Structure 1
């Protein structure tokens, strides 16, 4: 994997951590997630009008990804209702790299070398270590199941988007349509939360929509990288967003133990290096 592709995915991971920090700080996370989806719709809709259609071969992948994204938002919202973010998030994200690598091996024949798998394992350990105190306190059955369901959804749409964008003939068009079809997610949340939306301050609307734009930018970078690198490796690098989120929490929100988080960051950095040198 070239340094340029690694830099792109790490930039996406940082942006991903930023929008998750926005959701974490929200009083009503379900409504905020709906606004994040709406941010995708607005930007994606503008791009759809200006770009050509993606290839017909990629359309089923866009549709499958949209359905799975709906499941992802539902699972994530339920997980946050039953457990704290610091418990749910590392479980959900920690299982993704290995699952994506297995799906990619089964569906498109991408076989990672042992060194890359070791890198994935170090990143997974780093994810758990970054939130160890919260995880050690225990996790309820419902929170665990919804967190695992969230991770499975992430792994499925990651693989289907990786295949679809390679077939699309135009990464920007694939990205735009995937974002625009968040319309169904935003619409569902809008209907469910229509009373709350009418009372939301302007600041909440702005922050939520800004989070959507940041989220969309992050995933666009990931989609671009999937054209040039194995899906499992890209997914593993993207999950370094967890350590970025942990560092943001430590620096700006006075959360957690700096020694433990530094150790997690070192482990994940080694994992990134192993993946970068292996593929």
Structure 2
């Protein structure tokens, strides 16, 4: 189960990237923040590829996986940054946990990963935890925590991100299988950077204030954790089944709730932490249901 360790490291890296993105979005547009996340990994990854001479033999599925996966990743990261800008970190991030539910539908068709009964139990624990995270609105009705998705722009946008991620994760696995985790990380970052440059040209958005040196430093750190996250995420996908890798990576919501409470002073930390713990139970169910 070595893929589990890579997936957990991806979760930690992603949570730190999310925290720093939230801080950077106080003064820059989602387009610029997304460009920083997409472009910063390129020189790092390119240097590793050139230094190690690790250009793989590309398989037949590489090109179309890169085209489709890269386009979807641009849409996902742009929506992701918009969601973070318009909502609490600990409120928006948990809705990415719906990705495993969407993966139940998409993975069998795209890469042939069939979830077991134990996988399904774990996935529903994770999604149930997302409900508990918003339990404070239950006095409006039993389904009120679900309706909060449509009332709050952050969760609503993040739900669309979760659906896109259910597709990109499968294309990421196809891309890794037809190249390598390192080369695929470089490839997808390059395509995303082109996409965000296009967005900045035709949909520039508006920075809240002129980016300061500290903001630029924050955005560079966003890119650094994006780089680490890409490498360990794609390595995990090369070793394990897509739904389980993504479900464990979604344990980043536990870190997000903690960071939101510790560094951003966000409300409802108790309820959101309980929901995140329930999701972690789902992660354990998923992880121990897999074999090496």
The TM-score normalised by the length of structure 2 is 0.82
After superposition, the Cα gap between the structure-2 partners of 1:218 and 1:131, relative to the gap in structure 1 and judged at 3 Å, is: farther
CA deviations over 1:122-154 (Å, ceiling 9, x no partner) = 122223433544884935468365333222211
Counterpart check, 1:37 vs 2:35: no
Distance 1:262 1:151, change over 3 A: closer
* Distance change >3 Å, CA 248–CA 54, structure 1 → 2: farther
Measure how far apart 1:223 and its partner are.
0.9
Q: Which stretch has the larger CA shift, 154-163 or 35-44?
A: 35-44
Pair 1:260-2:260 in alignment? no
1:16-165 alignment to 2 at 5 Å? 16-26=14-24, 27=26, 28-30=28-30, 31-50=32-51, 51-57=54-60, 58-79=62-83, 85-91=89-95, 93-133=96-136, 136=145, 138-140=148-150, 143=153, 146-165=157-176
Structure 2: 5+ residue runs without aligned partners? 138-143
Equivalent residue number for residue 176 of structure 1: 186
1:212, distance to aligned residue in structure 2 (A): 1.2
Aligned pairs, number:
275
Q: Is residue 2:246 matched to residue 1:248?
A: no
Say which is worse superposed, 183-192 or 150-159, in terms of deviation: 183-192
Structure 1: distance between partners of 2:12 and 2:133: 15
Residue 187 of structure 1, aligned match among 185, 197, 200: 197
Structure 2 SS opposite 1:55: coil
Deviations 1:140-170 (CA, angstroms, capped at 9, x unpaired): 46836533322221111111101221222x2
Offset of residue 112 of structure 1: 1.4
Alignment CA distance shift 1:265-1:139 (3 Å) = closer
Q: C-alpha separation between the residues in 2 aligned to 1:267 and 1:141? A: 24
Cα distance, 1:268 vs structure 2: 2.2
Distance 1:119 1:133 in 2: 24
Write the deviation string for residues 178-228 of structure 1: whole angstroms up to 9, x where unpaired: 122222134135435498599422221221021012012112211111122
Change (3 A) 1:132 1:184: farther
> Partner of 2:3 in structure 1?
5
Q: CA deviation at 1:250?
A: 2.0
1:239 Cα offset (Å): 0.8
Runs of 5+ unmatched residues, structure 1: none
CA–CA separation in structure 2 for the residues paired with 1:142 and 1:21: 19
Partners of 1:262 and 1:77 in 2: how far apart?
23
Instruction: Tell me the distance in 1 between the aligned counterparts of 2:231 and 2:168.
Output: 14
CA contact (8 A) 2:149 2:156 kept: no
